[in-house]
Structure 1
């Protein structure tokens, strides 16, 4: 029974870590440009 409580605690810690990293990504502007990726494939690559 103790292992169940340990696993629940670890899973909550992992879930909170992912939630915090998601909020950090949203606050730092990772999801602001939603137009450019959809049209990037339409443009040809520039020759170097």
Structure 2
């Protein structure tokens, strides 16, 4: 039932999406650490 071409296309689409999103995710994580290191009112680590 597995269509190989569909699996390859899906894998390529996921990889493409990850390559586009990773820099944005990294920037958001960096921003979160920057704001989280200040007052702990933003719901960061206890």
TM-score band (shorter)?
0.5 to 0.7
RCO higher in structure (CA 8 A, sep ≥6): 2
Q: Distance in 1 between matches of 2:23 and 2:38?
A: 25
In the alignment, what sits opposite 1:4? Answer: 7
Q: Mark the structure with the bigger radius of gyration.
A: 1
TM-score (norm 2): 0.52
RMSD of Structure 2 on Structure 1 (CA): 2.1
Unaligned segments of structure 1, at least 5 residues: 42-48
Aligned residues: 36
Cα offset for 1:2? Answer: 0.8
Task: Determine helix, strand or coil for the equivalent of 1:32.
Answer: helix
Which structure 1 residue ranges, 4+ long, deviate > 3 Å from structure 2? none
Q: CA separation in 1, counterparts of 2:20 and 2:27?
A: 11
